Structure 1
Amino acid sequence: MNAQHPTFNPPADEDVKIWRYMDFTKLISLFDSEALFLSRADKLGDPFEGSFPLANVLARAFVPAQVPEEFKANFQEAMAKKAITHKRVSRCVAVNCWHMNDHESAAMWKLYLKSDEGIAIRSSYRRLRDAIQHEGPVYVGCVNYIDYQQEWFPEANLLNPFVYKRKSFEHERELRVVLPVFSAASPGREYFEVPTIDHGINVKVDLQVLIESVYIAPGTAKWFHDLVSSAITRYGHTFRIVQSELSQEPIW
């Protein structure tokens, strides 16, 4: 189920359009599993995923005045271990990413498709939130974009790093689904030392609630449009199919 969490902020407009760009095989996987695939955070392709800004890291060297003298050494040791701990946390968090935009994006088509034979699912924040059927808590919120060399963010919660990215990714306008899978340390092991997720996790969703329409990538042949239509019918759905507006001819 979608759960409330102070780290995860919804968009100002809960009906904002969101998009997920994918190839045809991932569409079939979605239909077949009736689940969103959430990738393990450290496998998303961004080495900064789950990390902290420079200011946060530098601040760990300072011991607050209110820490008693007899506990300062323990405090410094704990701060020294933070980097290792937080890097491990990325192996215990799964993420699924969406693009917020009122219109389809030419940049997103190029970024996420390896060929012309792709589709985009159009949904909304409200639809995504309401479609999640996972038994445990799943969080949905907007990503914040900051300068990791100049800015910082609070470290009060282990999930805070997963709603921040570098400003160079600001064009993604990302809304993300996040599922933490934390477990207690086993004998002889520290917390988060052992990954709790292999590659990712499938989170069950109600496809009828989630999918508003299916967009066909620009430049695709008619046979691909027919293939997508056939697949939708075969799985018992009636989703509206829309040819990308980027395929339209200019008017001179």
Structure 2
Amino acid sequence: MDNKILKINSNDLKELSGSMRVARYFTYDKLKDIIDNERLYFHNCELFDDDNERKRIERGRYKNQKARRISIKIHNALINECKAYVSCWTIFEDENAALWKIYDNTSTGACIVTTVEKLRKQLDQNILIGQVSYEENANILFIDIEGIASNYLSTEFVKISPYAFEKEVRAVFFSKETSNSIKMGINFESLVDEVYLSPFANSKNNLRTEKLLLKRIVKNKIKQSTISETKKTSKEMSK
């Protein structure tokens, strides 16, 4: 086990099917870093744009108000003592045009598709992989973290409902180390099922991305996007 990763146990986390397909959308620069260095970044979730990260503690399975107060006290103490590091994925049924535009905002990148099983094989056994639940359907987990707390009220798999369109799956671990991100080594070829080229990139950029990908994977894993959009001029829009 990586000495940065704290040992955990949770009977609450729903086991995901190993065959579930998940994906991530990358800019070219982030994709290049993953391919050249064969590593995934797990980011400190307190630095995410969503200000509700690690704060959604209202909905718990409390027997009474005393149990609620104890759980919240443990939760707040643990946030100060250790950090949660997250790698964010999305359930992949087909490409998502909105996620392309959000996470490849340079229109130069690619979408990596894998399965939960392949992702799990790349990661330490104390890294949790679970599906995010959203607000009224939130399933807040209780987690034992060795040497830190028992029955920690984990909110790392909960987000508010405006983010439900992301259909997020997260890989999460806890560490006493305080950092913006922690890198985990991977085997890119073993991880990847297929890669979609950006539908919004020009042909030159897609050729550059394809050349980069061929360093690690075979050509038949590289797919063209099914999305096709053409920007209309203001004159065309006014007709």
**Structure 2 residue corresponding to 1:218, chosen from 189, 199, 204:** 199
Structure 2 distance, partners of 1:152, 1:4, is 16
Q: Provide the residue aligned with 1:110 in structure 2.
A: 101
Structure with greater strand share of residues:
2
| Unmatched runs of 5 consecutive residues or more in structure 2 | 2-7, 144-150, 231-239
Q: Check if 1:140 corresponds to 2:120.
A: no
**Structure 1 residue corresponding to 2:66, chosen from 50, 63, 67:** 63
Q: Provide the residue aligned with 2:31 in structure 1.
A: 27
Structure 2 distance, partners of 1:226, 1:244, is 14
Q: Provide the residue aligned with 2:117 in structure 1.
A: 126
Q: Deviations over 1:55-95 (max 9, x none)?
A: 55xx799336xxxxxxxxxx97x678556425426x61100
Q: Provide the residue aligned with 2:217 in structure 1.
A: 237
**Structure 2 residue corresponding to 1:16, chosen from 8, 20, 31:** 20
**Counterpart code for 2:14:** N
**Counterpart code for 1:224:** N
Change (3 A) 1:4 1:83: closer
Q: Deviations over 1:156-192 (max 9, x none)?
A: 633621112222211111111111114xxxxxxxxxx
Q: Provide the residue aligned with 1:162 in structure 2.
A: 156
**Counterpart code for 2:209:** V
Q: Provide the residue aligned with 1:52 in structure 2.
A: 56
**Structure 2 residue corresponding to 1:85, chosen from 67, 70, 77:** 77
Contact 1:50 1:86 in 2 (8 A): no
Q: Deviations over 1:226-249 (max 9, x none)?
A: 11121123x343252112100289
Q: Deviations over 1:19-65 (max 9, x none)?
A: 10010000111012211100001012211111234355xx799336x
Whichever of the two has the greater Rg, that structure is 1
Structure 2 distance, partners of 1:137, 1:220, is 38
- Report sequence identity in percent: 20
Q: Provide the residue aligned with 1:203 in structure 2.
A: 184
Say what the alpha-carbon RMSD is for the aligned residues.
Answer: 3.1
Change (3 A) 1:54 1:231: same
**TM-score under structure 2 length normalisation:** 0.77
Contact 1:19 1:104 in 2 (8 A): no
Change (3 A) 1:220 1:52: closer
Q: Deviations over 1:210-229 (max 9, x none)?
A: 11111111132211121112
**Structure 1 residue corresponding to 2:11, chosen from 6, 9, 13:** 6
Q: CA deviation at 1:125?
A: 1.1
| Unmatched runs of 5 consecutive residues or more in structure 1 | 65-74, 183-195
